Amino acid sequence: TNPDRVKIVEVGPRDGLQNEPYLVPTDAKIELIERLSDTGLSAVEASAFVSPKWVPQMADASEVITGIKKRPGVRYPVLTPNLKGLERAIEAGVDEIAVFGAASESFSQKNINCSIKESLERFSPVIATALKENIRVRGYVSCVLGCPYEGPIAAEKVAEVSRELHAMGCSEISLGDTIGIGTPLLTKRMIETVAKSVPIEQLAGHYHDTYGQALANIFASWELGIRVFDTSVSGLGGCPYAKGASGNVATEDVIYMFNGMGVETGVDLTKLVETAWYISGVLGKAPGSKLARVMEEQ
Ligand code: HMG
Ligand code: MG
């Protein structure tokens, strides 16, 4: 991996908006995604083909995916928990999907209503079918640094689930600190363990900022060689399972940090901050990043 370049996967339209109590109109989601892809981001996670009963915020996944003007060179991954989700996603014409598992049994049950083992059995045909259709597959592992129900999670368990997803054909394994509980040295230890099972070039850091640790965890991960990070414009989101939880780390704060380090992201910070203000206006709340506030004042 190039030490001077990172890939940012923008997850605001999915991970952010799935946790916003306000149901954002489809047109506004489309505008958000198009604005994000105009900033130079190469991946914008656009929606989730999950059960609308479980997550009403993502019920319009098909309309969103078919509605966006796709920019060449940009990928628009979507979540697919099962074959039904994959079928809907294929019909909408997606080029990348993500399956999502967990390193915690309780979280797996609450999030996707099955055990870890059952989830992997369920993902196997989803991944195989997607690959046959030339659709790239990401694999998420949640609760890599702790679980809202079980507390600490063993890094070996994270490695085990990551290894299985990788073996099934996921080209990127995104390590989710779902409740943002991790700190930099714990994050490093977890990654060192997982990297024994999956090549570090294929790992991504997905850190929520609940305890304000996400930037530090990204830096720690970068030091170990991680070059893919999932972030959310304006720090959108939260977590229905964690009281007082913030969303993912804000994309613009991460871009600012990498700019300062001389690490290329390809993202135009001014356009990104404008987009943070745009979606904040839609949601009727202040942007959740430090940078949006600073750049507004200038
Ligand atoms: P279930 O109830 O066990 O599933 O849910 P089921 O197969 O028994 O189906 C129940 C009903 O849902 C049926 O409808 C199905 O047709 C329908 P009914 O017959 O009752 O009318 N259904 C679907 N509809 C549309 N699309 C589908 C679909 N599947 C079933 N794909 C299931 C199991 C997995 C579907 C459910 O638990 C679910 O949708 N869970 C998703 C939860 C979710 O989206 N969580 C947030 C994303 S994960 C995350 O945020 C973490 C991450 O960011 C990383 C991190 O931070 O850690 C990725
Ligand atoms: Mg997440």
In this prediction the ipTM stands at 0.99
1, pLDDT greater than 60? no
The answer, yes or no, to whether any atom of ligand 1 lies below 6 A from the CB of 55, is yes
* Residue 265: per-residue pLDDT: 98
Closest CA to 116 of 90, 154, 172, 87: 154
Q: Is 122 exposed, middle or buried (0-12, 13-18, 19+ CB in 10 A)?
A: middle
Q: Output the pTM of the full model.
A: 0.97
Contact 75, 136 (CB under 8 A): yes
First to last CA, the chain: 36
Distance 281 CA to ligand 2 centre (A): 23
Kindly tell me the sign of the dihedral angle through the C-alpha atoms of 265, 27, 82, 245.
positive
Q: What is the reported pLDDT for 244?
A: 64
Neighbours of ion ligand 2 (CB under 5 A): 15
Question: What is the rounded CA–CA span in Å between residue 195 and residue 32?
Answer: 34
Q: Which one, of 108, 128, 212, lies nearest residue 170 by Cα? A: 128
The tens digit of pLDDT for each residue in 111-150 reads: 999 999 999 999 999 999 999 999 999 999 999 999 999 9
Beta bridge partners of 44: 10
CA 98 – ligand 1 centroid, Å: 13
Q: Is the CB of 19 under 6 A from ligand 1?
A: no
Q: How far is the CA of 62 from the centre of ligand 1 (A)?
A: 15
Is 187's C-beta closer than 6 angstroms to any atom of ligand 1? Answer: no
Ligand 1 pocket test: pick from 11, 19, 51 the residue with the most ligand atoms within 8 Å of its Cβ. Answer: 51
Q: Is residue 243 over pLDDT 90?
A: no
For the CA of 55, the closest atom of ligand 1 is 44
Is residue 239 part of the annotated active site? The answer reads yes
Q: How far apart are CA 6 and CA 75, in angstroms?
A: 16
| 241 touches ligand 1 (CB under 6 Å) | no
The contacts of residue 24 (CB under 8 Å, 6+ apart) are: 17, 32, 57, 282, 283
